[in-house]
Amino acid sequence: MNEVKLVVDAKASLGEGPIWDYEKKLLYWIDIINKEIRILDPKTHSERIIKTAHSPGSVVVGTHERILAAFENGFSFLDLLTEKCTFIADPESDMPGNRFNDGKCDPAGRFFAGTMSSESGKASLYCLDTDLSVTKKIEGVTTSNGIVWNMKTGKMYYIDTPTKEIWGYDYDIKTGDISNKEVVVHIPDGEGVPDEIRT
């Protein structure tokens, strides 16, 4: 029988986006409302809290003592030694009512992260490529959420929460291109809404 255990009594206001660092054996996660990036060492049960100037929507493991974050105001590097951010790009600088939300890296290291909006259909999913160029991948969404890849089937799966659907796309790992959208899961009314997805 599976057992749920309290690992850290964080008392987070909006805890999201856990990412495991396989090399360092650390767990990264965020508290969006409190503007915190948190790093848990399960071996020692110690946790490091990095206060940020802007609300983080998601973080991913980087290299050279840096991580990548999608903050409310765009993509940035965060130096883990100095805790200083280096801004990369904000593809929605003209949309102050939007903020970045969930994001993940594809198997080639591209950082996909999407925005959320108080206005229906005004958010999008973006890709920060390994050369730091930013491309809009999906538009017309409201709350960009869970994203994951299955390279055995060549698929990317993605959630726009208010639709109550999980969308599947053919995924080209060489280019990061998506195509052939299909609804793979539809959640009936009264049974909740999708937020996160795993394969």
What tens-digit pLDDT sequence spans the chain (199 residues)? 789 888 888 899 999 999 999 999 999 999 999 999 999 999 998 999 999 999 999 999 988 899 999 999 999 999 999 999 999 999 999 999 999 999 999 999 999 999 999 999 999 999 999 999 999 999 999 999 999 999 999 999 999 999 999 999 999 999 999 999 999 999 999 999 999 888 7
pLDDT (0 to 100) of residue 63:
85
CATH of domain 13-90: 2.40.10
N-term to C-term CA, the chain: 22
Q: Could you tell me which residues come within 8 angstroms of residue 96 by beta carbon, excluding any fewer than 6 positions away?
A: none
Other Cβ atoms closer than 10 A to 42: 13
Residues 32 and 14: beta-carbon distance below 8 Å:
yes
Question: For position 100, what pLDDT does the model report?
Answer: 97
Q: Which of 39, 94, 95, 104 is nearest to 70 (CA)?
A: 104
Domain ranges of the chain: 13-90, 98-199
C-alpha–C-alpha distance, residues 75 and 58, integer Å: 10
d(CA 19, CA 189): 30
Q: Residue 6 has what pLDDT? A: 87
The structure tokens 């090399």 sit at 23
Q: What pLDDT, on a 0 to 100 scale, did the predictor assign at position 2? A: 85
Side chain identity at residue 199, one-letter code: T
Can you give the pLDDT at residue 197? 86
Is 154 in a helix, a strand, or coil?
coil
How far is it, in rounded angstroms, from Cα 123 to Cα 121? 6
Q: What pLDDT score was predicted for residue 1?
A: 72
> In the CATH scheme, what is the code of domain 98-199?
2.120.10.30
